[in-house]
Amino acid sequence: MAIAEQKLTSTAPTTSESFQWRSWLATVDHKKIGIIYIISAFVFFIIGGIEAMLMRVQLGTPNNTFLSADLYNQLFTMHATTMVFLVVMPMNVGIGNYVVPLMIGARDMAFPRLNAFSVWLFLGGGFLLYLSFLTGGATNVGWFAYAPLTQTQFSPGQGVDYWILGLGLTGVASIAGALNFIVTVLNMRAPGMTINRMPLFVWMNLVVSFILIFAFPTFTVASIQLLFDRQFGAAFFNPALGGDAVLWQHLFWFFGHPEVYILILPVMGMISEVLPVYSRKPIFGYSFVAFSGVGIGFLGFIVWAHHMFGTGMGPLANGFFAAASMVIAIPTGVKIFNWIATMWGGDVRLTTAMLYAIGFISMFIIGGISGITLASPPIDLQQTDSYYVVAHFHYVLFGGSILGLFAGAFYWFPKMTGRMLNEMLGKVQFWLMLISMNVTFFPMHFLGTEGMPRRIYTYESGMGWEMWNFIETIGTFFLAFSVLLFIYNVLVSLRSGEVASNDPWDAATLEWVVPSPPPSYNFLHIPQVTSRRPLWDAKYPHSTADDHHGEKSAPSQIRYEYSHEDSPGAKEIHMPTLTYMPMVLSSGLTVAALGFIYINQAILGLPMRVASYVFIAIGFVMVFYAIRGWVLDSRRDSPYLGHH
Amino acid sequence: MRKDARQKVMLAMVMAGITMVLAGCANLPATTMYTYGDHATRILDLLMVVFWMAVAVFVVVQGALVYTVVRFRNKQETTALPKQIHGNTKIEIAWTIAPAIVVLIIAVLTFRTQAANSVMPPEAIKIRSIAHQWWFEFQYFNQDGVSLSTPIVVDEQNQPTITTATDLYVPVGVPITIQLDAADVMHNFWIPKIAGKTYMIPGKSNYLTFTVQEPGIYKAFCAEFCGEAHAQMHFRLIALPQAEYDSWKVNVAKIPASAAGTVQVLGLTGDAARGAALFADAKKQCASCHVIAGTDAKGKIGPNLTYLGSRTALGGAILPYSVDNLAKWLQDSSAIKQGNLMGRVIKKGTLTDQEVADLTAYLDSMKLSVALPAEK
Amino acid sequence: MSSSAGHTHHGEAHQKPLVGSMGVDSRKLGLWAFIGSETLFFATLILTHLIFYARTTNTLSSVGALELLDPRLGYLAIELTTVLATLLLASSLTMVLALAASKARDWKRFRFWQLATILLGASFVGGQIYEFIHLYHEGLKLAPAYEMHLSHEAYKALSALNIDPSIVRLKEAGEHATALVPSLFGVTFFVMTGFHGLHVTIGIIWLIAIYVKVLRFPESPENPMDIELGGLYWHFVDLVWVAIFTLIYLI
């Protein structure tokens, strides 16, 4: 089944169809929800990028007065909070939402309404976080919010409370999303797709979902405790009243370290999909790559205090966490070698997606190496809290997560939109982004080594930091331009890009069986899976292989589907109905959370707490209404009742 | 890639590499690459080993990556599939063990350095540093009966013999243990050329031990975000030869002579005696925050101002000391250091220019004779 | 094992459940994963409480006042909390009976046992609220110190110890004597048990919703699964109480 035989009919809606608000606001379709996540995350990426550019303008010259100290402090806090919680996480979840059900041959996620709830609640949380800029100032205590700076006497105003409640909402959204992924991947795979035949992107999403549900509760508890400190007279983290400032750090990083694996593992899964396709060979060492992901997931829970080497835990504790942190380099290294070996002996096509995947590996090597030096407590004591660590995490987060997400974007854009992105523009954008990324972040290693602390809104002249800071600021502008190029590419391609077939890349996994974009029900006929690369084995049944490690059972019967909403047989497929309830529920929680922020304030000209109680009451009314409606929806859709 | 294009890229990379090496080579004021304290020196020695291992790993892995992409790049439209190899258990085990060995070496070296840097020799001089938003306080104690690893308790029986701020004087060649405390939020203590940083945590005391190897004035910072003026919370380590240090200790403990003399600043003549009277005037509020030995001032919120005339820097070590800078600070400290606590009380216009000139004269008149070493 | 996401009625190749699925109902699997998450949630709360309790006892024993001022001994009444634990455990039993009745499609019996579960749960919450109010009057609050009422002998004994007032501050006002002890015991106790109580309350609302739904649609075929899911959550909430009761009150 060669590519040339595929039909080239775009199933994307034509631009003449009017935008259906209801079909988006009341959607429970994983593909639409994925797109909402992706677009929202991208918008936040722009916002976070602007925050970064403002900071870099301020730091471009010494003793600069472009930004006040307080505004700078708000910006660096919100930049990090945005990039971690409102960009990389939702982008991962968005792409995962779109692709995972397709990859496992399912029609949707296990809990479509819960899925919708997650995306609207994520937006509610993001809204709260950014509302704070307009209501007296955003949080300005750093994204890890060390105690006791976060106590009311040092951080008056509501900024920190907005941060707590905003991230509380996004945290609930994330946990709900992770539960959804776990059940979907464990329970909804197509017949024949054993766990050992799942695509690696699905594996990584499963691992990350488990990490998430076990790591987030600690952060939830810590932030609840902080909220109680600030609003209800508790003193969990207030040493002046018997609390413990270091306890916050332990609780936060117990969550915070697994969090960074949540940020990177799905992207590693994407790379594990992209590389084999453009090398025209399977991933080298599927089992090692899968299990190294699991290993990283487990190990990620026992390394947290490498963020705390300077807090005086003592050499024994430091030694343990140092050892564990170094051990975690091993499964990471394994992945890199497996990826290189995947390309070795292959027929490597340097599409934009492939360039991004290779760029990811290259930049991640650098980030990984700086991570090794940071894992050594003595060296860490010089490097932490300086621009060296800023360099490290930007290499793994920008050079890693962001570049990898662009690889995923170029790879799956045709599937999601029915159009190909412009490759020429893409390649120009890639090289510009790669070079300017290095210009912006590599010198930070030097600055840190030269003694520049982090989180400083300005620095004096004569320290020798001027040149690199200026260069980094220039780099930022080119980086921003490369993102603009991407936006231009997307807009132009949506309008007039080459129409995409089902399988424009000659790929291996099930999402390329269906049209681009797929109909709402995904597969007309749920595929029967007999190997790890069901589509590939159908296209190339005689492709030589040393052996399949026993995972191939029968010739693949997969064929391309050319179906749409009105295809014969489509009407018999019953998808869950549209419903506004998930959006109402998330909105209710957002309103109640907003009320909670002002639980000890007199606002809107009303007496103390009145406005707060009103908001909370309205929020809870909405919540109960939505729950009732949701239960009725589930009755309506129940497979047992056969009402439709 | 075409041959000449490849050569250009190689050349660019070599130039970049040279720049990198050169950049790391300069002895900048706060660099960790030129160390004058044993703590930092051991760290640098460890880093150098790890750095070259890292360079080797980088060259090998990046090289393998680039080589693979270049060699196996699709040359023309081929339809023949490459060999569909799924893996090779032996190779995979080998490249699981290889990084494990590298990491093991780094771990062993790390533990050795860590052990060496944790040693607190019994003869170490113990000094206490308390971090405040946004300045560093230093307290010196009678060393008899001071235990190294338990916190010094300050009470009626045990008062510091010297209390000072911003300039931390230590002797060269002698182990120093700093007890690190914090009065409000979390800070940390970083003298890049001397030692790694350690957190200063309210409610907990930490310890940092180092020996300074050469006399000098060393730049130091708070590197833990601590609020609005974090960027401007600096201090200086002033390491003196033992004899100079001993003489400093004797002199700084003496009560400053009565205020006398004048100073030309802000186009006016400031009179130290008038300034002393202003300082003592309760309405001016100086004494509610600051202390000067020999006066009734009992303020605990701001730095100790005794012998301010000999400080190397002002405002949390962000302004080099001069009468002009001192006057500027008194006039409008918020313009220099946003968020600082003094600026909330002594705002622009709170003091008249003449008052500022007089206070400047007074504070400047308290000078110690000490031969300051060169800035390193 | 199916969920409501996209099922077909006519002639579609039937999914072989065993290979693509774990064989457990999706909602049950999801609820178990959620319970796993909530376990970490409560573990963090409990751990925080134990950390600060240990600090309090260390400080008090270092001045020899532990016996008289141990907040656990002074405040946590085993009698009341044993009754509460019994109520909650009994409610788990009645929940099991309710589920059994639903599986036998005996809706009258189901309603009886479900109502019993709800009432037992509500009594637990009521008892918790009573305990909170009682503790408040005894001097344990959501505040970084507790003020324990002292008997005359206790006051005498503590005065004799001459404890630093920053560790224990003795107050005497006529007939009443108290000791003010800075400690996070109260704060951590109320936050931990308060959130447990909140989870129980959510459970009660859930059980009431199930009760009402089954009352209206007794023949709905998914009722046993709905009841089982509510019951699963309820058992979890009960187990957390067993853990709290054991770790906080008993050991």
Assess C58–A contact: CB distance below 8 Å, yes or no: no
From the list C81, C121, C128, the residue with the least C-alpha distance to C98 is C121
Counted domains in chain A: 2
How much is the pLDDT for A541? 85
- In the structure, do chain C and chain B come into contact, i.e. share 3 or more CB pairs under 8 Å? no
Reported in sequence order, the residue ranges of A339-497 that DSSP labels E, i.e. its strands, are: none
Residue A7: what are its φ and ψ, rounded to 5°?
-80, 145
How much is the pLDDT for C149? 93
- The answer to whether the CB atoms of B43 and A285 lie below 8 A apart is no
The alpha-helical segments, DSSP class H, found in A26-68 are 30-59
Collapse the DSSP code of A562 into the 3-class scheme (helix H, G, I; strand E, B; otherwise coil) and give the result.
Answer: coil
Contact residues on chain A for C19, CB-CB shorter than 8 A: 189, 191-194
Distances A192 to A183, A300, A331, A332, C98 between C-alpha atoms, Å: 17, 32, 29, 30, 38
**pLDDT score of B262 more than 70:** yes
Q: Give yes or no: residues A259 and A370 share one domain.
A: yes
Percent of chain C at pLDDT above 70? 92
**pLDDT score of B197 more than 50:** yes
- The answer to whether the CB atoms of B74 and A379 lie below 8 A apart is no
- The answer to whether the CB atoms of A340 and B72 lie below 8 A apart is no
A280, A365, A453: residue with CB nearest B223: A453
Q: How far is A571 from chain B (nearest CA, A)?
A: 39
Residue-wise DSSP of A250-305: HHHHHHHHHHHHHHHHHHHHHHHHHHHHHHTSPPTTHHHHHHHHHHHHHHGGG-GG
Domain that holds residue A171: 33-576
Neighbours of A644 (CB within 10 A): 8
How much is the pLDDT for B128? 95
Assess C16–A contact: CB distance below 8 Å, yes or no: yes
Q: Distance (Å, rounded) from C-alpha B52 to C-alpha B54?
A: 5
- The answer to whether the CB atoms of C29 and A639 lie below 8 A apart is no
CATH classification of the domain holding A43: 1.20.210.10
With cut-offs at 50, 70 and 90, classify the pLDDT of residue B14: confident
Q: Give yes or no: residues A568 and A584 share one domain.
A: no
Write the CATH number of the domain with boundaries C38-250.
1.20.120.80
How much is the pLDDT for C18? 41
**pLDDT score of C1 more than 60:** no
Q: Distance (Å, rounded) from C-alpha B327 to C-alpha A414?
A: 67
Contact residues on chain A for B72, CB-CB shorter than 8 A: 279, 343-348
Average pLDDT across chain B, whole number: 91
In the structure encoding, which two tokens stand for residue A581, read together?
Answer: 């309830």
* Omega before C182 within 30 of 0, i.e. cis: no
How much is the pLDDT for A549? 53
> Residue A509 is which amino acid?
T
pLDDT tens per residue, range A195-232: 999 999 999 999 999 999 999 999 999 999 999 999 99
**Residues contacting residue B305 through CB under 8 Å, at least 6 positions apart:** B290, B291, B292, B363, B366
Q: Give yes or no: residues A123 and A200 share one domain.
A: yes
Assess C208–A contact: CB distance below 8 Å, yes or no: no
**pLDDT score of C107 more than 60:** yes
Residue B84: what are its φ and ψ, rounded to 5°?
-85, 70
Within its chain, how far is the Cα of A501 from the centroid? 28
- In the structure, do chain A and chain B come into contact, i.e. share 3 or more CB pairs under 8 Å? yes
End position of a domain, from candidates A537, A557, A576: A576
- The answer to whether the CB atoms of A330 and B110 lie below 8 A apart is no
**Which residue is it, tokens 């939702």?**
A90
**How do B313-314 and B319-320 pair as beta strands?**
antiparallel
Q: Give yes or no: residues A382 and A488 share one domain.
A: yes
- The answer to whether the CB atoms of B225 and A142 lie below 8 A apart is yes
Distances C192 to A600, C137, C187, C196, C247 between C-alpha atoms, Å: 22, 19, 9, 6, 12
- The answer to whether the CB atoms of A288 and B29 lie below 8 A apart is no
Q: Distance (Å, rounded) from C-alpha C120 to C-alpha A217?
A: 28
**pLDDT score of C2 more than 80:** no
Assess A313–B contact: CB distance below 8 Å, yes or no: no
Least confident range of B3-17, B182-196, C47-61, C94-108: B3-17
Handedness of CA B68, B71, B75, B77 (dihedral sign): negative
From the list B45, B30, C131, the residue with the least C-alpha distance to A376 is B45
Contact residues on chain B for A446, CB-CB shorter than 8 A: 20, 23-24
Within its chain, how far is the Cα of C205 from the centroid? 15
Collapse the DSSP code of C180 into the 3-class scheme (helix H, G, I; strand E, B; otherwise coil) and give the result.
Answer: strand
Q: Give yes or no: residues A562 and A584 share one domain.
A: no
With cut-offs at 50, 70 and 90, classify the pLDDT of residue C78: confident
Q: Give yes or no: residues A479 and A572 share one domain.
A: yes
Q: How far is A469 from chain B (nearest CA, A)?
A: 13
How much is the pLDDT for B298? 82
Q: Distance (Å, rounded) from C-alpha B264 to C-alpha B15?
A: 53
In the structure encoding, which two tokens stand for residue B301, read together?
Answer: 């919120």
- The answer to whether the CB atoms of A525 and C13 lie below 8 A apart is yes
Low-confidence ranges of chain A (pLDDT < 70): 1-18, 544-553, 639-644
Q: Distance (Å, rounded) from C-alpha C62 to C-alpha C56?
A: 10
Q: Give yes or no: residues A443 and A403 share one domain.
A: yes
Residue of B nearest to A151 (CA): B185
How much is the pLDDT for C219? 84
How much is the pLDDT for A610? 94
**How many Cβ contacts (< 8 angstroms) between chains A and C?**
175
Residue of C nearest to A570 (CA): C8
Q: Give yes or no: residues A615 and A555 share one domain.
A: no
Q: Distance (Å, rounded) from C-alpha A428 to C-alpha A484?
A: 12
- The answer to whether the CB atoms of A235 and C40 lie below 8 A apart is no
| A15 domain-assigned | no
A284, A345, A457: residue with CB nearest B87: A284
Q: Distance (Å, rounded) from C-alpha A297 to C-alpha A205?
A: 11
Q: Give yes or no: residues A532 and A590 share one domain.
A: no
- The answer to whether the CB atoms of A338 and B115 lie below 8 A apart is no
Percent of chain C at pLDDT above 90? 76
Chains within contact range of chain C (3+ C-beta pairs < 8 Å): A
How much is the pLDDT for A643? 41
How much is the pLDDT for B24? 59
Residue of C nearest to A217 (CA): C41
How much is the pLDDT for A18? 61
End position of a domain, from candidates A576, A591, A614: A576
**pLDDT score of B2 more than 90:** no
DSSP letter assigned to residue A402: I
- The DSSP bridge partners found for residue B131 are B136, B182
**How many Cβ contacts (< 8 angstroms) between chains A and B?**
288
Residue of A nearest to C7 (CA): A574
| A22 domain-assigned | no
pLDDT tens per residue, range C206-230: 999 999 999 988 888 888 999 999 9
Average confidence (pLDDT) over C161-185 = 91
Residues 132-191 of C with CB under 8 A from A: 142-145, 182-184, 187-188, 191
Tell me which of 3.50.50.60, 2.60.40.420, 3.60.10.10, 3.40.50.300 is the CATH number of domain B125-253: 2.60.40.420
> Do A164 and A251 form a contact (C-beta atoms < 8 A)?
no
A343, A373, A377: residue with CB nearest B69: A343
Assess C108–A contact: CB distance below 8 Å, yes or no: no
**pLDDT score of B146 more than 80:** no
How much is the pLDDT for C25? 92
> Do A464 and A396 form a contact (C-beta atoms < 8 A)?
no
Reported in sequence order, the residue ranges of chain C that DSSP labels E, i.e. its strands, are: 7-8, 145-150, 169-173, 176-182
Q: Give yes or no: residues A93 and A58 share one domain.
A: yes
How much is the pLDDT for A324? 96
Contact residues on chain A for B54, CB-CB shorter than 8 A: 369, 372-373
- The answer to whether the CB atoms of B114 and A377 lie below 8 A apart is yes
How much is the pLDDT for C23? 85
- The answer to whether the CB atoms of A235 and C144 lie below 8 A apart is yes
> Do A330 and B103 form a contact (C-beta atoms < 8 A)?
yes
Assess A457–B contact: CB distance below 8 Å, yes or no: yes
Query: What pTM does this model have?
Result: 0.94
Query: In chain B, what are the domain boundaries?
Result: 3-71+86-118, 125-253, 262-365
Assess A612–B contact: CB distance below 8 Å, yes or no: no
Fold entry, domain B262-365: Immunoglobulin-like (2.60.40)
How much is the pLDDT for C97? 97
Tell me which of 1.10.1200.10, 3.30.1120.130, 3.40.50.1950, 1.10.287.90 is the CATH number of domain B3-71+86-118: 1.10.287.90
Q: Distance (Å, rounded) from C-alpha B135 to C-alpha C187?
A: 33
End position of a domain, from candidates A551, A576, A601: A576
- The answer to whether the CB atoms of A382 and B47 lie below 8 A apart is yes
How much is the pLDDT for B158? 83
Q: Distance (Å, rounded) from C-alpha B212 to C-alpha B35?
A: 9
Q: Please report the ipTM that was assigned to this predicted complex.
A: 0.93
Assess C78–A contact: CB distance below 8 Å, yes or no: no
Neighbours of A195 (CB within 10 A): 15
- The answer to whether the CB atoms of A345 and B85 lie below 8 A apart is yes
- The answer to whether the CB atoms of B190 and A453 lie below 8 A apart is yes
- The answer to whether the CB atoms of C5 and A188 lie below 8 A apart is yes
Average pLDDT across chain C, whole number: 89
Q: Distance (Å, rounded) from C-alpha A246 to C-alpha A254?
A: 12
